[in-house]
Amino acid sequence: MSFTIAIDGPAAAGKGTISKAVAAHFEFAHLDTGLLYRAVGAKTLDGTDPIEAARKLVAEDLDADNLRTPDVAQAASRVAVIADVRAALVDFQRAFARRVGGAVLDGRDIGTVICPNAEAKLFVTASAEVRAKRRFLELDGKGLDVSQEQVLADVKERDARDMGRAEAPLKPAEDAVIVDTSDLTIEAAVASAIKAITQLRENA
Ligand code: CDP
Ligand code: CDP
C-alpha cells in the first residue's frame, strides 16, 4: 500500500529537517524536490538551457552538498517559474510518491499540484526573519561568506517569486495542516508533524 506525505513551505522553514525525521519515523522514502530545481538552476549557471537541463536530469545531478549555495537557490527559483521545466519533473516526482511502503516529498507544490490526493499534507512555515537567521547560521557554518541581511533579502526575494508565479505557486493546500516552526525547537517541530500525520493515518 502506498501512503504519500506532502510537506510544502517557504525557504528554510524546516521542511527538510522535518521530512527526514518523519521518513525515518514511518520508514518511508524521502525526496527533497527542491534539489531537482536546484540541479536545473545549477546547470543554467553554466549556460545550459533550463528546459533541456530539466529533461535530461539524472540522479547523479542531485548532489545536495554542492547545490545548497545561495546562488544556486536563486537560480532554482528562477527556473522554477518556467512551465516546461516543471512539466519535465512531474512524472519522476509522482512515480516516487507512489512507492510501495510510503513516501515523503517536500517542496512548494507537492500538496497542491504534484500529489493533490496525498494522504497527509503539511505546510511548514516560520517568519522570514527566523528563517533567514537559520539559513544564515547554516551557510556561515559551512564557511560561506554571507551576511544575515543578505540572506534575509534573498529569502524574501525567493518567497515573492515562488508565491507570485503563475505555475504552481507556493501556497498551502486547502486541506494542509499548518505547522509554524517560528517558536519551535527542531524536536518540537518534528513531534508536532509526527502527531498530525499519525492522526491522519489513523483516520485514513
Ligand atoms: O528544508 P527547508 O529549507 O525548509 O529547511 P531546513 O533545511 O530543514 O532547515 C533550515 C535550518 O533551520 C536548518 O539548519 C535546521 O536545523 C534549522 N531549524 C531550526 O533551527 N528549527 C526548526 N524548528 C527547524 C529547522
Ligand atoms: O531549501 P529551500 O527551502 O531554501 O529551497 P529548496 O526547497 O531547495 O527549493 C529551491 C527553489 O526551488 C525554491 O525557491 C523554488 O523556487 C523551487 N522549488 C519549486 O518551485 N517547487 C518545488 N517543489 C521545490 C522547489
Encode pLDDT of 133-158 as tens digits.
Answer: 999 999 999 999 999 999 999 999 99
Mean pLDDT of 59-80: 95
Q: Is 16 in the pocket of ligand 1 (CB under 6 A)?
A: yes
- Known binding-site residues equal 9-17
Q: Taking the mean position of all CA atoms in its chain, how far away is CA 160?
A: 15
Of 204, 9, 203, nearest in space to 105 by CA:
9
d(CA 108, CA 169): 7
pLDDT at 87 over 90: yes
Task: List Cβ<8 Å contacts ≥24 apart for 143-149.
Answer: 144/69, 144/70, 146/70
Ligand 2 atom nearest 9 alpha carbon: 3
Range of the domain at 196: 4-203
- Does this model's pTM top 0.95? My answer is yes
Give the CATH number for residue 53. 3.40.50.300
Q: Is 68 in the pocket of ligand 2 (CB under 6 A)?
A: no
pLDDT at 15 over 80: yes
Q: What is the DSSP letter of 176?
A: P
d(CA 178, CA 40): 29
Domain count, the chain: 1
Does ipTM exceed 0.90?
yes
| Helix/strand/coil for 204 | coil
